[in-house]
Amino acid sequence: MSIATRWGTTAAERQLDFPCDRLLPDADAAYFRAVTVRARPDVIFRWLCQMRVAPYSYDWIDNVGRQSPRHLIPGLDELALGQRVMSVAKLVDFERDHHLTGRATSRSLGDLAITYLIAPESANVCRLLVKIVVAYPRGLVGWILRVLLPWGDLIMMRRQLLNFKQLAERTSDGA
């Protein structure tokens, strides 16, 4: 595995059960990403719920130049299956303060499922783990995606996770 498919994760973390695995059991590929966040699970989960309104990666690319909110918006943590997250996926599963799972299907990009999993290490420190499983479209487009998607996703997802880390830690510090 290259850094593009396992950034920030340990071998043990990659063996964990992620809800997205049940959605695409015959996926062509899996990508893992992770950061350590010095915040409680409930704070991290509330920030993940903010993906209902913004992607939190590179806003100039993913959010038409609008800045993702830097404060928690009340009510966004009131989740319901089928809600849109990250503008391209639908919420298909969640467990408050533990995980949020979405799925996106596109003719051109294939089928993907993604789980954001909060794994507490202590009362105020968690690992925020992400697993993305992908079923690529067939043909030339699928081949191109196999080469480019891991690296493109790494760039965007790394920024997103580092943003969530900073925002959750700031929230936990009372800022």
pLDDT tens-digit map of 24-39: 999 999 999 999 999 9
Query: Which residue type does 97 have?
Result: D
- Bridge partners, 126 (sequence order): 37, 120
127 φ, ψ to 5°?
A: -100, 130
122 φ, ψ to 5°?
A: -155, -175
d(CA 148, CA 152): 6
Which distant-in-sequence residues (6+ apart) come within 8 Å of 95 by Cβ? none
* Residue 1 reports pLDDT greater than 80: no
Task: With cut-offs at 50, 70 and 90, classify the pLDDT of residue 152.
Answer: confident
d(CA 131, CA 145): 17
What does the pLDDT look like over 108-138, one tens digit per residue?
778 999 999 999 999 999 999 999 999 999 8
Q: Identify the pLDDT of residue 130.
A: 97
Q: Identify the pLDDT of residue 113.
A: 96
Give the residue carrying structure tokens 């992400």.
130
Q: Which residue has the higher pLDDT, 151 or 86?
A: 151
Q: Identify the pLDDT of residue 166.
A: 95
CATH of domain 3-172: 3.30.530.20
What does the pLDDT look like over 40-90, one tens digit per residue?
999 999 999 999 988 777 654 555 556 777 789 999 999 999 999 987 899
